[in-house]
Chain A
């Protein structure tokens, strides 16, 4: 069964500054939806609105055509990787993997640098390792949708490749919404692509549109 998560007619302003205006975005299971946009154009804001941690001035978030006020409070519906490391520093990898019900041996088999780190506290890991562990548990969690806000931040080129593989694997039974400034990775990964520009989303059918809309120069 295909599940659908939609943001429709989303509007948000901070005082006189319009951030989002009549935004539409659709994410479905089995697909990776890429969201591109310049700094400060509202990508993270939109993700927070979809996730339910920020309230839009107007508009709706729908799951399978049903209005859903706070996506994160619906069991196993969606998880969100913010731009920054979010795990409390005192927790161990063991605790995190147990909380998200994710198998650690698969993880250390795939990433040997995490061998013998099962009992390690998050604060003893590097920024890249924390990012990788957080991305992994979210992608392997039971959630139907994973919202990834700059997942490649802090990661080495090799780690980026591994995370890309994880994302492609995860899309078999999940919907992925991803944004990052490494736009080539996003373009390569995405089945559907949106550009957030001038406060609204533009559905991108051809890469030349990114040039026309002033996001990149081809």
Chain B
């Protein structure tokens, strides 16, 4: 149990290293979709653009962290968490949040 809590805290620490950009892009996408209804009858047409922006910024974030903040990975690896595990868990959370907000805005 302690290990699970510790690992969740570690995942949160890792997520916080790029959460500002990730959340800003998510919120900007949701905000755009929400307000698009005032200008067009089909705001869902903006979805591909918003998704592409999210994917591209996520790619940039991954590149930046892997190349310019790679030292911190040793902290997590010393506690048994691999790079793949860190990225897959945090990005799953980030994209779930992104998708949920977009669905909410569309409805």
Contact = CB atoms under 8 A, between A and B. Distances in A.
Interface in A133-159: 138, 141
Nearest to A79: B78
Given A72-B80, A73-B80, A75-B80, A86 B71 contact: yes
Contacts, number: 45
B72 A86 contact: yes
B6 A99 contact: yes
B10 interface: yes
B75 A88 contact: yes
B35 interface: no
Contacts of A80: 74, 77-78
Interface in A73-128: 73, 75, 79-80, 82, 84-88, 90-91, 98-100
Given A72-B80, A75-B80, A99-B79, A88 B74 contact: no
A82 B80 contact: no
Contacts of B74: 53, 80, 82, 86
Contacts of A51: 77
Interface string A60-73: 00000000001011
B16 interface: yes
B80 A87 contact: no
Interface residues of A, number: 21
Interface in A13-59: 51, 53
Contacts of A84: 71
Given A99-B6, A99-B10, A88 B80 contact: no
Contacts of A88: 13, 17, 72, 75
B96 interface: no
- 5 A-B pairs closest in CB distance: A86-B74, A79-B78, A72-B77, A88-B72, A86-B71
Interface of B: 6, 9-10, 13, 16-17, 71-75, 77-80, 82
9 contacts: A53-B77, A72-B78, A73-B80, A80-B78, A86-B71, A86-B72, A88-B72, A90-B16, A91-B13
Given A51-B77, A80-B74, A88-B72, 14 more contacts: A53-B74, A53-B77, A70-B82, A73-B80, A73-B82, A75-B80, A80-B77, A85-B71, A86-B78, A90-B13, A91-B75, A99-B79, A100-B78, A138-B78
